[in-house]
Amino acid sequence: MSLTSAPDSRPSGRAAPLAGRRTESPVVELNVGGEFYTTTLGTLRKFPGSKLAEMFSSPAKACLDAEGRFFIDRCGTYFGPILEYLRSGQLPTQHIPEVYREAQHYEIKPLIKHLEDTPQIFGEQVARKQFLLQVPGYSENLELMVRLARAEAVAARCSRVLVCLVRNEKEDANCADALRSLEANKRSVVKFGPWKAALDISDLLDCLNMDIKARGYQVCYSHNSPLPAKVSDYFYTFSFSWW
């Protein structure tokens, strides 16, 4: 398959596929995940080093759909803003996180840089994610919370997960007896910390709440620990609602 295919030699009674009519035309038709676009090779090759430039510079990188359009197996909904940026340099104003993800896939570095300067991406990538990197085992503990909630969801409208948050070694030591007691009573607890970042407990709680909801779960948290007052400040209950 070539971007400059030879003229179609089939009987004239059958329509030639689009690829056969591209012999010397810079215009290309695209099928991106079922969404159709028309553009030029120059637009697609605008940024050397991007996946699009590579795809449409090397015949081995391109494939066709049944109608002869160049096929890209990605969500086509957010390809429009990508294409508009390649054409005119216009930055998207909607669906910024989704377009950012597609820009990363296509490795369009100037667009990635522009999007990383937007409040949505800057706040997520630079502020929040860098903050969470300072919390040891954050992702693993988040997965554990979800698994525990699902395990307790049998024949129940809600399930609750107890979480312990300790900011430093002193708080960790204060909670040691309470954690041992809970373990002895076979009560599961997901423990976060200690951590080195200068963050407030409420920041971490909001991150957990946000990331669990982003997975489609209905969840809320409260500070109603049944533990003694001297350690209750370190424990929170996350309630998952199933119906």
* pLDDT tens profile 169-185: 999 999 999 999 999 99
CA 9 to CA 104: how far, in whole Å? 40
Q: Which CATH number fits domain 27-117: 3.30.565.10, 3.30.710.10, 3.20.20.70, 1.10.10.10?
A: 3.30.710.10
Average pLDDT of span 121-133: 85
- Per-residue pLDDT band for 57 (boundaries 50, 70, 90) equals confident
- In this structure, what is the dihedral angle of CA atoms 157, 161, 162, 164, given to the nearest 10 degrees? -150
pLDDT, tens digit, for every residue of 21-53? 444 468 999 999 999 999 999 999 999 999 999
Run of H or E including 192: strand 189-192
Mean local confidence (pLDDT), 57-73: 84
pLDDT, residue 4, reads 39
pLDDT at 63: 86
Residues 6+ apart with CB under 8 A from 126: 116
Comparing 4 with 82, which gets the higher pLDDT?
82
Average pLDDT of span 129-155: 93
Instruction: Give 60's pLDDT tier (boundaries 50, 70, 90).
Output: low
**What local confidence, expressed as pLDDT, does residue 198 receive?**
73
Residues forming a β-bridge with 163: 190, 236
The mean of the pLDDT values for the chain is 87
Q: Which alpha helices (H) appear in 107-200, and where do they start and end? A: 109-116, 119-121, 129-132, 138-151, 169-184
**For the whole model, what pTM was predicted?**
0.66
Residue 7 reports pLDDT greater than 60: no
What is the structure's pLDDT at 58?
A: 75
pLDDT for the residue numbered 227: 78
Q: Which residue has the tokens 């423990």?
A: 191
pLDDT at 10: 38
Reduce the DSSP state of residue 212 to 3 states and report it: helix
Domain extent listing, the chain: 27-117, 137-241
Confidence (pLDDT) at 59: 62
Q: What is the mean pLDDT of residues 48-65?
A: 84
